[in-house]
Structure 1
């Protein structure tokens, strides 16, 4: 087997340049990527408006306005819940500070890291540190909020452009295809759009179902603002693997700090474990289905790479992008091994390949 060091060098150089481009241009690419996925979902709505005789630009505007109303309603609801919990959150912070102080004193007493460490002095130092860092935290929050709203406005602009120019974009991409493969290339573009649409729409439906299931369970247990914690945990589930655990940790900690009985946080933990068990075995396969069709290794790898390059946004976006990349790789013969590494079928059929190999060897021995 011959190894082409020239090809290997060009491949590694291309990967390095691609990663550098993704890091340097993330302020542009993150809202562009989110806008692309949301445009895939809004495309049927935009198409429906146009069938009703509404013009292209107005249909795109109404589709995005509908999305803004839904997002605004969710933000308003959660803001009201957070304001209602403001006193509880303040008490939660005080209890968390006290618990952290007790834990540090206990560890220091048994390991002796610092001499003469007093609980009252440590608590006073922690309060002083929080007070001193409040200004910088407020400034950082203001900058983060400004960047968030700037990214949101940019995202809506991209989304609007994707919707009104979707035909022109498709025609432009079709120019990359040879004349005899136009139909195949168009089917590939359509499948990419369907992958993004099915994944994101499936996740939104799953978030609604999980949100109501979590909220009803928390309401029965007796947790304050069950819909806030229930839908927050469900929304975090869009981050593969990590989001579900993080979403369950927040209400469990809140239940532990706000109730004296250990039964309440234990009941909350059991609730989220049961919901997660049902979601992973029944709901997610039925609702999201094979829209992603990415094996666990590729999903975890995309999660790690996405977090390293784009942070939380990368953790959300890189999984559907990996599924879209698989669709592209399947259409080009040199890239088909990469599609096999990303896809799920190659790993699920491992036993069948072994049986096939055993059958061929058995026939060979019989012929001899």
Structure 2
């Protein structure tokens, strides 16, 4: 074995260069990344409209309009519950402040950080401090909202352009490869698109299944606004690990603040734990399939790296892009060890991981429709 310090240096320099580009070009790359993922979902829909006689521009417009109508319909269904929840925010905030005050007094009585600390005085100081920080909070909220809508509009424009120029983009990328490898390159890009599409469709189905499961379970438990909390937790589950924890913590905290009985938050926490167990061990492997999954180490690493580079957007995006990176690495002999590190087959002897998931089987059946 020989270690080439020259190749090692160029490898490390390339990694640092990639991260520098990801950080510096974040305002452009994040909307572009989301646009590619949305375009993967809308690609078969766009093809269907084109098969019916629409040109590429009109087909792309109809595809995006269909997506907007679905999202708007979902928001309309939950609008009543959102309004009811917002009306209770004032009372909810008061309860949080009282609990925080009581907790502070309890700690101070046992450890005596501040002598003669009164509950009423402490509560007024906390409210006064919150009032003084409202201006800063409003400014940060306005800045964050403006950045969010700017990124959203940019993603919409990028998605529309990708759907229109998708053939030209693929052909242009293929031209970077030698002529004798262009067919393989075209197949590689097609595989990347299919992996991204299958992954995203799988996540969409999982969100629907989890949303209805969570909502029915919360409805049986008896919490207010069960469908809002149920689908909110399902949508947050898109963020691996952390999203599931946050999605469960929101209804648990709401139940703890709104109900006198401790059984309500405890039962909700147990319910979400059971749902998470079946989702991780049964639902996701069956729907997505082992071929599209990355191992736990890569998943956690992609979340940490994504959060440090792009924040919440990175936590969402880096995991599906890791699955796509695995497909690219499989096409190169030098990068196949990296594909083994990312994938899951190298870490299990079970043959079931080589079987396609239900989503892939369904995709093969409905492929002719588009």
Query: Do both proteins adopt the same fold according to a TM-score greater than 0.5, normalized to the shorter chain?
Result: yes
Runs of 4+ in 1 over 6 A off after TM superposition: none
Give me the whole-angstrom Cα distance separating, in 2, the residues matched to 1:230 and 1:182: 47
Alignment of 1:307-326 (within 5 A): 307-326=307-326
Look up the match of 1:328.
Answer: 328
Give me the whole-angstrom Cα distance separating, in 1, the residues matched to 2:125 and 2:317: 41
Partner secondary structure for residue 100 of structure 2: helix
Give me the whole-angstrom Cα distance separating, in 2, the residues matched to 1:168 and 1:112: 70
CA offset digits 1:328-362 (Å, max 9, x no partner): 111111111111111111111499xxxxxxxxxxx
Partner secondary structure for residue 223 of structure 2: coil
Q: Are 2:240 and 2:316, in contact at CA under 8 Å, matched by a contact in 1?
A: yes
CA offset digits 1:219-254 (Å, max 9, x no partner): 111111111111110101001111111100110110
Partner secondary structure for residue 334 of structure 1: coil
Cα deviation for residue 88 of structure 1 reads 2.0
Can you give the 5+ residue segments of structure 1 that lack an aligned partner in the other structure?
Answer: 352-368
- 1:203 pairs with 2:203: yes
Q: Are 1:211 and 1:227, in contact at CA under 8 Å, matched by a contact in 2?
A: yes
Look up the match of 2:72.
Answer: 72
Alpha-carbon spacing, 1:350–1:87, altered in 2? closer, same or farther (3 Å): closer
Cα deviation for residue 41 of structure 1 reads 0.6
Count residues with an aligned counterpart. 351
Give me the whole-angstrom Cα distance separating, in 1, the residues matched to 2:78 and 2:153: 21
Look up the match of 1:30.
Answer: 30
Alpha-carbon spacing, 1:24–1:11, altered in 2? closer, same or farther (3 Å): same
Partner secondary structure for residue 260 of structure 2: coil
Between structure 1 and structure 2, the one with the greater Rg is: 1
CA offset digits 1:9-60 (Å, max 9, x no partner): 1111111111111111111111100110110010000000000001110000
CA offset digits 1:309-338 (Å, max 9, x no partner): 000000000001111111111111111111
Look up the match of 1:292.
Answer: 292
Q: Are 1:211 and 1:231, in contact at CA under 8 Å, matched by a contact in 2?
A: yes
Give me the whole-angstrom Cα distance separating, in 1, the residues matched to 2:23 and 2:212: 37
Look up the match of 1:355.
Answer: none
Cα deviation for residue 177 of structure 1 reads 2.4
Look up the match of 1:172.
Answer: 172
Q: Are 1:30 and 1:310, in contact at CA under 8 Å, matched by a contact in 2?
A: yes
Cα deviation for residue 127 of structure 1 reads 0.4
Give me the whole-angstrom Cα distance separating, in 1, the residues matched to 2:309 and 2:76: 31
CA offset digits 1:128-157 (Å, max 9, x no partner): 111111122122222222211111110010
Give me the whole-angstrom Cα distance separating, in 1, the residues matched to 2:291 and 2:211: 22
Normalization by structure 1: what TM-score?
A: 0.92
Question: Which range is displaced more, 163-172 or 102-111?
Answer: 102-111
Q: Are 2:290 and 2:344, in contact at CA under 8 Å, matched by a contact in 1?
A: no
Look up the match of 2:117.
Answer: 117
CA offset digits 1:168-204 (Å, max 9, x no partner): 0111111122222232222111110011111111111
Look up the match of 1:363.
Answer: none
Cα deviation for residue 62 of structure 1 reads 0.6
CA offset digits 1:111-141 (Å, max 9, x no partner): 2222332222211111011111112212222
Question: Which range is displaced more, 33-42 or 118-127?
Answer: 118-127
Give me the whole-angstrom Cα distance separating, in 2, the residues matched to 1:156 and 1:212: 28
Look up the match of 2:141.
Answer: 141
* RMSD (Å), alpha carbons: 1.6
Give me the whole-angstrom Cα distance separating, in 2, the residues matched to 1:322 and 1:165: 25
Can you give the 5+ residue segments of structure 2 that lack an aligned partner in the other structure?
Answer: 352-370
- 1:341 pairs with 2:328: no
Look up the match of 2:162.
Answer: 162
Q: Are 1:199 and 1:291, in contact at CA under 8 Å, matched by a contact in 2?
A: no
Alignment of 1:173-322 (within 5 A): 173-290=173-290, 292-322=292-322
Partner secondary structure for residue 290 of structure 2: coil
Q: Are 2:199 and 2:320, in contact at CA under 8 Å, matched by a contact in 1?
A: yes
